[in-house]
Amino acid sequence: MQEHDMSWVRTEMVLAQAAPRSQVGVAAWLQKNLFASAVDTAMTLVALLAIAWALPHILNWLFFDAVWTGTDRTACLTTEQGGQLPAGWSGACWPFVGSRFGQFMFGRYPYDERWRVMLAGALFLVLLVPLLIPRVPYKRLNAILFFGVFPFVCFWLLVGGFLGLRYVETPLWGGLMVTLVLSYVGIVVSLPLGILLALGRRSHMPIVKLLSVIFIEAVRGVPLVTVLFMASFMLPLFVPPGMTFDKLLRALIGVALFASAYMAEVVRGGLQAIPKGQYEGADSLGLGYWQKMGFIVMPQALTLVIPGIVNTFIGMFKDTTLVLIISMFDLLGVVKQNISGDPTWATPQTAKTGYVFAAAIFWIFCFGMSRYSQFMERRLATSHKR
């Protein structure tokens, strides 16, 4: 055996060393993310200045200068307006929100019956939270309860009129409750209906295809405001006298159908992204149409379009504010009504306070939906992960 001189080969491992100071720690992070170049530095400084300029004003208005207690408008008036606060004061008038909080949540739902709304809300949360957390078992039972049983229980609790509960007519409903009812029904109806419409539009059966296309294009072609207005004020002129449909029901149908048409196009986008091979693979396994769609195509297509679906949901959640035009008072409607119609709280700050409150509530819901959809995307992105 020939001897080799191995002296140039290292025989022991070099121990791992700490990363250079310039690559770790706060300083490195700042360098890399905020001050990497001259342009970055300038932008960082401008942004910091903007925050430093705006943030104190915002915090002062929202919290430090805000009024927290009071019984009427005099609590939020300056001395020159006939109140106690120093001249030039500006701040949120929170007691206005406090005194009208019940209305903002429930509208004019009878005070003694509001426990029913709260119970329905609690049930909603109890069923929704385990459904959203992937680890929790019994998903099938949970889904059946949430989508199949809960609507009926909810109807009984909110509307009443049988099984021992007093009837509460829907014109008394209002506030966040109406916003959530409209959104829940819209979401629960629009996703399955949207999927069916998307499949219908890609179907090879001419009549199904034609009907789907007509529905989607007709509904997408008119503004939601028009749909609501027609349903609410023109419909009664067409039907025979004495025949009335509940206004909330009309709005629910309008919103749900409207969202379905948009949903159909989102789902169709997902279907088009699935390669032909997936369909052919399913066919070669001998799967029927519904099995093919249910087991192979839809799971992939829906995963792809989660951002689009959630986008539609968030859009619909905010679109529910349009029911104001048919004199139904969702959260924003009730806030507006109390601002414009209430001399006991009319101050220069009332409108701002009310709108900030409504904006905060809407933001919480929309942001929640958005974060959850991102979580689901990461979880389900098993094949397209980048």
Partner 1 sequence: MKHIVIGVLGAAAFGMMATAASADTLGDVKARGFIKCGVNTGLAGFSAPNAQGEWTGLDVDFCRAVAAAVFGDGTKVKFTGLSAKDRFTALQSGEVDILSRNTTWTINRDTAQGLNFAGVTYYDGQGFMINKKSLPDVNSALQLSGASICVQAGTTTELNMADYFRANKMEYNPVVFEKFEEANAAYDAGRCDAYTTDQSGLYAVRLQMKSPDDHVVLPEIISKEPLGPSVRQGDDKWFDIVKWTYYALLNTEEAGITKANVDEMLKSDNPEIKRLLGVEAETKIGTDLGVGNDWVVNIVRATGNYGEIFERNVGAETPLKISRGVNALWTKGGLQYGMPIR
Interface with partner 1 (CB under 8 A)? 73, 78, 80-82, 99-100, 102-103, 107-109, 111, 171, 229, 232-234, 236-242, 244, 324-327, 329, 333, 336-344, 346-348, 350-351
Q: Are 78 and 87 spatial neighbours (Cβ–Cβ below 8 Å)?
A: yes
Residue among 64 and 238 whose Cβ is closer to partner 1: 238
CB of 228 to partner 1, least distance (A): 10
CB of 208 to partner 1, least distance (A): 23
Residue among 170 and 190 whose Cβ is closer to partner 1: 170
Residue entry with tokens 């406090």: 98
Find the radius of gyration of the CA atoms of the chain. 29
H/E run at residue 196: helix 176-201
CB of 80 to partner 1, least distance (A): 4
Residue among 277 and 343 whose Cβ is closer to partner 1: 343
What contacts 127, CB < 8 A, 6 or more positions away?
142, 145, 146, 150
CB of 106 to partner 1, least distance (A): 8
Residue among 116 and 336 whose Cβ is closer to partner 1: 336
Residue among 84 and 344 whose Cβ is closer to partner 1: 344
CB of 164 to partner 1, least distance (A): 22
Alpha-carbon distances of 257 from 71, 90, 134, 190, 223, rounded to whole Å: 44, 44, 30, 7, 12
Nearest one of 170, 169, 121, 107 to 333, comparing CA atoms = 107
Residue among 160 and 236 whose Cβ is closer to partner 1: 236
Q: Are 287 and 295 spatial neighbours (Cβ–Cβ below 8 Å)?
A: yes
Handedness of CA 292, 294, 298, 300 (dihedral sign): negative
What contacts 87, CB < 8 A, 6 or more positions away?
78, 79, 80
Q: How far is Cα 54 from Cα 283, in angstroms, rounded to an integer?
A: 61
What contacts 209, CB < 8 A, 6 or more positions away?
200, 201, 202, 203
